[in-house]
Structure 1
Amino acid sequence: MKNEVPNAIPKESKTRKKTSGQTTNNVRQEIDYKREKEILLALSNDLTKVRDKNDLITLFKEGIKGLFYISHTIVTLIDYKDETYTPFLLDNDGSPIRSHNRYQEMVHAHFRLNEPFIQAVLAADGPISFLLKDIMDQPASPPFLRVNYEKGVREIMMTKLMKEGKPMGFLHVYSDQPEGFSDEFRSVIKGIVPQISSAVSNIIKNDDILNREKEKSFLLDFSKEIATIRTKEELANAVRTVFKKINPDGGFVIRKINEDNTTTSPYVYDIDTKNPKILAALRESRFPINDGLQNRILNSSIPVSFNVDREIERGISSAYLRHWKEMGVKNLVGIRLRNGATNHGILTLHIEDINIPLLQGICAQISIAIGNIQAIEQIKKTQEEQAFLLDFSHDITLVRTRDDLQQAIFRVLEKTMNTQLAMIRVIENDGIHLSPFMFDRTLFGTAKADFDRMANHRITIDETYTAQVLASNGGIMFSVEEEIKSGNDYAKLWQATGLKNMYALPLRVGDKAIGTIWLLANRLSPLLVKGICAQISIAIANIQANEKLEAYKKKLEVENDYLTEQIKTIHNFSEIIGSGEPMKKVYKLISLVADSNTTVLVTGETGTGKELIARAIHYASPRRDKLMVKVNCAALPASLIESELFGHERGAFTGAIDKRIGKFELANNSTLFLDEIGELPLEAQAKLLRIIQERELERIGGKQIIKVDVRLIAATNRDLEAEVKAGRFRADLYFRLNVFPIHLPPLRDRSEDIEALIHFFVQKHSRNSGRKIKKVAPGVIHKLRAYTWPGNVRELEHLIERSVLLATDGNLDDVYIPETGDTNKKNEALLLNRSLDEVERDYIIETLKRCGGKISGAGSAAEILQVPGNTLHSKMKKLGITKADYYS
C-alpha cells in the first residue's frame, strides 16, 4: 500500500519540476485548475447527498481516497464543557490502527484542547500537516499520534470544521508516506471543508432527531407499563427491565425516604452480588439523608455523577458507599425521584455513558409510580386505622371510671403491634405540676422499685422531657439506645422492656394540654397513635371535668379582674420628666439594672415618683410583655397582707369561701412591685424573705409548693437602715431587697427639672379639664422654683391642676402656693404661750412631715435640722413623737 499510487491521478509532490518555458507552465496551471474545479464540484455534489455517518464514510472511502493517496480519515467533535475533543466518525474497516491494542481506548478517549498540537490546528487558516515523528513525543501531545505511527502512518493533515463562526470539530487525514499531501489535495480539502462542516452538522442534527424519537418511543412504552403498576413488586420488575435495555451491565438501587423524613431505606434494587452482608444491608439498612451525598442528590435538579473512592475520601461514611466499593464499582450517578414538590427517594445507578434526558424521563415515570403505590398503600392503611379507631372510640364512650379507661387502653394497645403503656401523667390544678394518672408497673421487671420511686416524683411542665412533649404538635419519639447514651435516667427503665422506642405525646382537649402519655413500641403509626391519644384525652377530661373546669374558671375570673384593673392604671401613668444631673444618675442606674433579674429597692420621699421608676425598669426589661403586678403594703390591713401576697385555699379561714390567687402567682414570669415595703408587718416579712430565697410559696391553708419566677422591685420612703436598728424591719430581708438601691432625689434638689414638670402637668391637666393654657408666666416658674416642695412632684402636680382650673384667659399668670406670711404671724403669737419643749416638738414634727417621715440619711429631717440621726431619735423619744404625729 505504501508504494501503490492510483493510475488515474498521479501523486503530486510538493516540489514541481520546472518546464523550459512559461507557456508550458501556464497550460499546466490551467489544466490543474480545471481538474481541481471538477474535483471540488463532484465532491460538493456528493456532500449535499450526505444524510448519515455511513454516507460520509463512503464519501471518504470512495470519493476522496479514490482521487488522492491517503491512509484513512476520521472526524472528531469538540466538547467545550470539559475542553476536550472526541472521535465522532471512524473508518473502522479502512483504518490501519484498528488492530492496535489501544484502538478501543482511542475510540472512547477524550483528548484535551489546551495542548500545543491542537492549538496549532485551531490557529491555522486552513489545512495544516505534521510529520508524526516530529510531534508525537512532545509534551501533552495526544496518544493517538503514536498509535498511528506504530501502525505505519507517517503524516497527519488536520483542518477545523466550523459552525456559526466557531470550531465544532476537526477533520483528520492520515498518510503512510512522509510529505504525502500535495498542494492540489490541500486546496481541494480547503475547498470542501465548509461542505464537510455542514454535512457533519446535519448528521448530528439527524442523529439527535432520531435519538429523541427513539427516546420518546422508549419512554412512551415505559410509561404505558408504569401506568398499570400497583405494587412494589411490579415496579421492581419494570425498572429492572428498562435498565437492562439501556445499561445491561450496571446495577441500581432505589432508596425511599422514610416517614421520619430524615432517613432513607432500600425500596427496589438490582445489583450483581452474592455477598450476604450487602444483601442484608439492602433489605434492612436505614441511612440519614443529611450524610453529605444523599442530600446533595436530593437538592439537585439534574443527575449527580460521583466517584465512590473520592466520596469516601471526602469523609462520607455511609455504609452504602463501602458496599459499592466492595463490588468494584467506581463511578455512579444519583438522581432524585421527585413528583411535583415531593421527594420520594433516590435512584443510584451504575452507568458509564449517561443520556441525561432519557434518564430524567425514566426517573419521572418511576417517581409517579412510587407516588401511586404509596398513595394506594396509605389509603389501605388509613382505612384499616380508621376502622380500628372507630372500634376504640366505641369502647371509650362506655368509660365512666379510671379502671374502665385503663382496661380500654390496655385492650387497644395490645392490638397495635406490641405497644405498651408506660405512663399517663395529668396536669394538676395549679397548671404547673403533673401527677401519675395511669401506668403499668409490670412492664419493668426487676426495675419495679426504680419505677415506683421515679413515678411518684412530682414533676413540672418545665421538666426537660415533659416540656419538649407539651411543646410538640404530634409528639416526640425517643430512641431508647440514644437516650441511654445521653444519661437519661428514665431510659434505664425503658430498656428493661426490650422495646426500641419511647413515644411521648401531649394529651389535649381542643387547644388545652391536660397531660402526657408515654408509650413503648418498636414502631407506631402517627395517625393511629394520634387518634388513640385524642380519644384518651377526651376520656380523661370527662373523668376530671367538673372539678378542673370549675377551678380553672375561678382562676381566670380572678386574673381577669386584676388584669382589667391594672390595664386601666397602666394607661394613666405619666412619663418620667427630668433631665438634670440627679435624674441622669437615676436613668443610668435604670439602664444598668433593667435587663437583669436583680431585685431593686427604690427609696425617696413621698411624692417623688417611685412607682414610675419601677414601671420604667419593668418595661425596659425582658419581662415587658407581661403585666407588672403592684401591691401597696401600706394600704392593706395586716390580717389580709398574707392572703393578698400569697393567696389562700378555700376554707383556709373564716370568710375564705373561694380559692384566691396571690399576687406572687399572678406575677409569675413578670415583675412584682411592693410599694411602701417598710409598712410590712414582721410576720409577713419572714414569709416574704422565704419566697425571695426559695422562689416558692404555699397558699394559706394549702399544702402544695408552688414555684414562682418573679422579679421584685420594692419602694419605701422610710429609712430602712434605721428601721432595722429599731427592730421594726428584718435585717436579712433588708439585705435581700437592697441588692441594687436607686434613690430618687426630692424635688427641691432638682430645681432644674421644675420648669419641664410645670409644662408637662399644664399640658396634661389642660387636656383633661378642657382648658387651653397657651402660656405660663415667667413669674409663676420663678415662684415655683423658690418653693421648698415638701410634697415633691405629687404636690407640684396637684398645685398645677388647681391653678389650671382657676385660669380663665388661657394664661397661667398665678399659682397657688401654701401661705407663709399671716399664718406665721399667728403662729408667732401661739409660740409666745408655749414652752420650749412644745415649740421644739412641733418644729420636729413639721420637718418630719416635709421629709415624708425620713429621720436620717440624705434628704432626712436630721439633715435639715443639722443634728445627728441618733440625737434626733433621742429627742423624738424624749418629746413623745410617734409615727402617728407625722404620718397622716
Structure 2
Amino acid sequence: MPNQDETLLLLHINEAIATIRDKDLLFKIVTTKLRLIFPFDLIGINVFDAELKNKRLFLRDYYGEEDLLPALPGHPNAFSPIAGSPIEQLVAAPHVHQITLLEYMGDYPDYEPFTRMKRLDIMHVTAVPLSTGGRLTGFLILASRRNPNLSSNDERLLEKIGSLIAVAVANTLAFEEVARREQERTLQLHITNALLSIKQREPLLRAVAEALSQVVPFEYFGIRVQRAGQGQAFQAFAEFWRTGAEAPLEALGPDRDQDESLRNEAGIYQQSTELLQVAAIYSGPEFRALAVRYPRLRYVYEHYHTRALLVAPIWQRPDGAAVLTLSAAHPDAFRPEDLATVQGLTPQIALALENLFAFEQIEELKALVEQERTYLVDEINTSVRFGADSGTFVGSGPALQQVQLRISQVAPTDTTVLISGETGTGKELVARELHNVSPRHARALIKPNCAALPAQLIESELFGHEKGAFTGAVERRVGKFELANGGSIFLDEIGELPLDLQAKLLRVLQEREFERVGGTKVLHSDARVIAATNRVLADEVAAGRFRADLYYRLNVFPIELAPLRERREDIEPLLRHFVQRLSKRLGKPPRQVRPADLAALQAYAWPGNIRELEHVLEQAIIVSQGPFLEFGGFAAAPLAAGGTAAISVLGNVPLKTLKEQARDHIMAALTRTGGRVSGAQGAALLLDINPKTLEARMKKLGIRRTVGVEAP
C-alpha cells in the first residue's frame, strides 16, 4: 500500500473520531473506510474490563447479503469471562494475529460464534489489539471468507488503525458513562415528580417501573412490601418486552400468588429473610441453584424462564420490609453498574412508598369524615315532618304526650329502642329526638334504610366491604355501623331485613363486633341502636319471617306511635304548622282553611298519616288562588264544595278496616299518577315511601297492575 493512501486513511479515521460523537455513525464511517483497504465480511470490537478478566461485544457488523448472525441475546453491555474463550490466547500475546478458525476450533469446539462463522464459510480472522496509554483495552476482529494474506506493512498499518479505534472506543465509553449518569439524574427527577404528584398505588408503581426501564433493561419488575401489624402486603409486576410494549400492571396480595400450591409450601417466605435482605445479582448456575432450593424462584425459573434476578432492598426495619426486584431471561442481563444504579434510587422509591401509604391513609380518613359530614348535613336539612323547626313536637294530645315521656325516660341511656307505627307517623323524628337529647348528640345519627337497597347490598351498606370483595368493589368502603361508632344508628324498616343478615345484626347487638364483607379483621362499634318498623314484628316472628332472638334483643324499650286518625285533636295544630312552613318554602301567601274543610280533614282516616297530611296541604297551597286553601279532588271527595261528602261517607257507612283504607289510599295515589309507581311523577313519591316498599305492599294488598293503572 502506498504511504500516501495509508496517510490519507489514517487522516480520515482521525477526523471522524475528532468530529463525530454519534457512536453508530462514527463506526459506520470508520468500518466503511477500513473496508476499502482491507476487504472483510464481518467486523467486531471486543472491549475488556480494567483487570482483563471479562469482555463484552462493543460493535458487530456483517457485510453479507443477509444478516445470518442475529444480535446476541441479553443485556447489550453484558460482560462474559475471557477465560475459556479464544480471546484468552489473544490477550496472552497482544499483537496482530492472522489465524484460521480451524486452528482455534480444536481448542474451543463449543464456541458458538465460531460455529456460526463456519456455517457462513467465514474461516479467516485477523485480530488487532486496541491499546490506550500502553494498556490493552480490547481487540478489533476482522473476519473474511478469503485469506487476506496481509503483509508486514499491512499489519503495522492495522496496529496504527487499532490505536485510533481504541481512542474512539474510549471516548465513546466515556460519553456513554456521562449519558448514563445524566439518565440517572433524569430518572431521579422523574421519580421525585411522581412521588409528589401521584397518589394512587398502581400509577405510582407503573411510573417507577417505566422510569427504571429507561436505564436498566429488564423483563419483570416487582416491589414487595410487608407491613407488620397492619395485615398489608402487596406485590406488583410490570412486564417490559424488548420491543418496549408492556403488559398491564397487576397488584397481587400475599395470598394471591400465581400458583395455589406455592402458598402452602414450607419455606416460601423465607426468601424474604434469606435472599431479599441483601442487595445482589443472582444469575447463571447460582440462580439455578437457588431455584432448586426455593419454590418461588423455581416457579419463575420454570414458568417465566427467568435466569437472572437483581435484588435491591428498599428498607428493613422492625415494622416491615420492602424490596425491589428486576428479573430477566438472559443470565448476563444485569451488571454491577445496574445494581448500583437501582440502589442509588431506593431512597427516593422508599420516600415514594411512604408518601403513597400516607396518601392512602389520608384518603381513608377523608372518606370517613366526608361520610359523617354528609350525614350531619342531612340531619340539618331533613325537614321535620310533624315537629316544629326547633325539634319540639306539634300537638298536645295524650298519645303524643306519652311518646314524649317515653323519649325522656330512655334517651339518657344506651338502651336499644324499637319504634313501631304505621307509615308516616313520624318514627324517624322520634329517633332523631332520642339521639338529640342523648349523651351521644355530638356525633352523627346514621340512618341506613333496610328496604331502600337490594338484599345483596344491605350487608355492605351496614358493615362495609374490602376492595375486591365482589364485582364493583373497587375500593374499601366503611359501613354504617363503623361510621356510627360513638353515635347512634337508626335502622328504619327493620322488618325488611333478610333472615341471613338478621343473624349478623344480632351479633352486633350482642357482641358489638362485625367484619367487613370480604374482610377478616374483627371491628367493633359502640353505636346506640334505634330500630323502627311499620310491621307487627310479633306476627312476623310467628310467620317465620323474623328471628325471635333478634326481636327480643330489639324490643328492649318499645315506643309505639299512634296513627293520626287516633290523634284527631292534633290535626289542627299540625295543619297550621304545615301551612305556615310550606307557604314560606313555596313562596305562597298563607291562606285560611274553611271550617268545613277542617272538619273534613279531621274526619278523614289518613291511612298515610302525618306524611299524607303534609302532602295534601302542599298540593292545596300550590293550586290555591283565593283567600282559602282549595282541596279539590282530595280523596275523591269534593271538599271544596263544602265537605259534606267526606263527612257523610264517614258518618253513614261502616268504617273500613285499616287494610281496606291502605288499599284505597294506594289506589287513589296510582289513579292520580296514571299508574306510575316510581320516578318524579310516581305514587311512591306522592306517598313518600320507597318504591320497592310500595310495590311490596301492592302485592300484599292484592293490587294488580291493570290497564287502568299500569306503571310505565
Look at both structures and tell me which one has the larger radius of gyration over its CA atoms: 1
Greater relative contact order (Cα 8 A, min sep 6): structure 1 or 2?
2
Instruction: Quickly name the TM-score band, shorter chain normalised.
Output: 0.3 to 0.5
What TM-score do the two structures reach when normalised by structure 2? 0.41
What TM-score do the two structures reach when normalised by structure 1? 0.33
